[in-house]
Amino acid sequence: MSTPKIAPKVAPKIAVVTGGGSGLGRVMATALLDAGHRVVVAGRTRASLESVDGADPFVADVTDADAVAALFDHVRSAYGRLDLLVNNAGVFGPAAGVASVSDEDWQAVVDTNLTGSFRCAREAFRIMAGQDPRGGRIVNNGSISAHVPRPDAVAYTATKHAITGLTKALALEGRAHDIAVSQIDIGNAATEMTAGFGSGTRQADGTLRPEPTMDAAHVGELVAYMAALPLSANVQFVTLMATNMPYVGRG
C-alpha cells in the first residue's frame, strides 16, 4: 500500500508574509522558503527581517498606507506576480481592563491588526485579480481570540473577531477572481509571546495557571500545506492549538 501524499507538489510561488521577521511570521516564512517558494518578509525592523535566511526583506509598517503600497509595488516590480499573502502582522496591546484602555491604545491595535490586514489584502487583490494566471491565496492570522477572549484583552479580541468578518467578506469577493481566502486560528504556539505561559497566565476567574504550548513549527507546516493546495480548494477556517490549552470551555 502506497503512502498518501501530505500535500500536492506545486511550482514555487511568490509569497508575502507580514510581521515576518519574528515569532510566528518568521516560522511561516521559513516553512514557505523550505517548500521552495520565494518569500518577501515585511515588518518594521530591518535587522530581524534580514535574519530570515533566503527571504527578501522589505521594511514596511502596515499602519502606514504609503508603506503598504510601496511593499506591493516592490512585489510587482521584482516578481511580476503574487501568489500568497500571509496577513500575520499584529500586536496584543495593553493587558488591561476596558476602563483603563486609552483611545490611543485602542487605535494602535485596530490600526495594526485590522486596518493593516485590510490594506494588505486590498493590495493583494489588485495584483491577484489582474495577473496571468489569475488568482492567488490570502491567509489571515486570526487567533483563538477570534472565538473566545482572554481576560484584559478587549482591543485584541475585538480586532480578531473582526478579522473573521474580513476573511468571510474577502472569501466571498475572491470567488470571482480565483482568490482563495482563509483564516488560521492559532492557540499557544511556543514563541516569545507565550514564553511565560508555562509558569502561569491569567485565567477568567482571576487566577494564574500554567498553560501548555505546542511547537510553532506546526504552524509553518500548516501554512505551507495550505499554500500547496490548488486554488480550486480552500481551507476556509482552521484552528491549530496545543491540545490541552483552555479553549473549549474557556472561562
Which residues are annotated as catalytic?
156
Q: How far is CA 62 from CA 36, 42, 115, 137, in A?
A: 26, 9, 8, 19
Crossing angle of the two packed helices 65-79 and 116-128, in degrees rounded to 10: 30
R_g of the chain, CA atoms, integer Å = 18
Please state, in angstroms and rounded to a whole number, the distance separating the CA atoms of residues 210 and 30: 29
Please state, in angstroms and rounded to a whole number, the distance separating the CA atoms of residues 249 and 247: 6
> Using H for helix, E for strand and C for coil, what is the string for 25-71?
HHHHHHHHHHCCCEEEEEECCHHHHHCCCCCEEEECCCCCHHHHHHH
Please state, in angstroms and rounded to a whole number, the distance separating the CA atoms of residues 226 and 235: 7
